[in-house]
Amino acid sequence: MQYPAMPFTVTDWSKVTPTEHKGETGVALWRTFEAGALRVRLVEYSPGYLADHWCDRGHVLFVLEGELTTELRDGRRFVLTPGMSYQVSDHGDAAHRSSTATGAKLFIVD
């Protein structure tokens, strides 16, 4: 990941208007900061959320609250709880999708 040239920036996430992204089931609310190719998000998944697509974009994802299940296209599954993260590169062999039974709050850099 290459960070774009930018000044020191502080984000008050409570002042960033969320956008709604429907999953196959449930909904994700994204609060997003973008600078060039850098995207930083505070994401909240509703209980019962299941992503509507397989993602092959690279991320650093950190679980703040709740429990997140990440499934890889090859069938492997990982359960992440608060304080856990995953890191995955762009377009690798790890296409993934997220789900949560109880809801989750995440901090994601991609």
Q: Output the pLDDT for position 1.
A: 66
Q: Output the pLDDT for position 107.
A: 98
Amino acid identity at 76: R
Class of domain 19-109: mainly beta
Residues paired with residue 17 on neighbouring β-strands, in sequence order: none
Q: Which residue has the tokens 């774009």?
A: 4
* Average pLDDT per block of 10 residues along the chain, 110 residues long: 85 97 98 94 98 93 98 95 94 88 97
Amino acid identity at 50: L
| Residue extents of the structural domains in the chain | 19-109
Q: Dihedral sign, CA of 11, 28, 60, 6?
A: negative
Q: Output the pLDDT for position 104.
A: 98
Q: Output the pLDDT for position 91.
A: 78
Backbone φ, ψ for residue 42 (5° rounding):
-110, 115
For the CA atoms of 83, 3, 35, 30, the dihedral, rounded to the nearest 10 degrees, stands at -20
Is the overall model pTM greater than 0.75, yes or no? yes
Let me know the angle formed at the C-alpha of 72 by 36 and 62, rounded to the nearest 5 degrees.
50
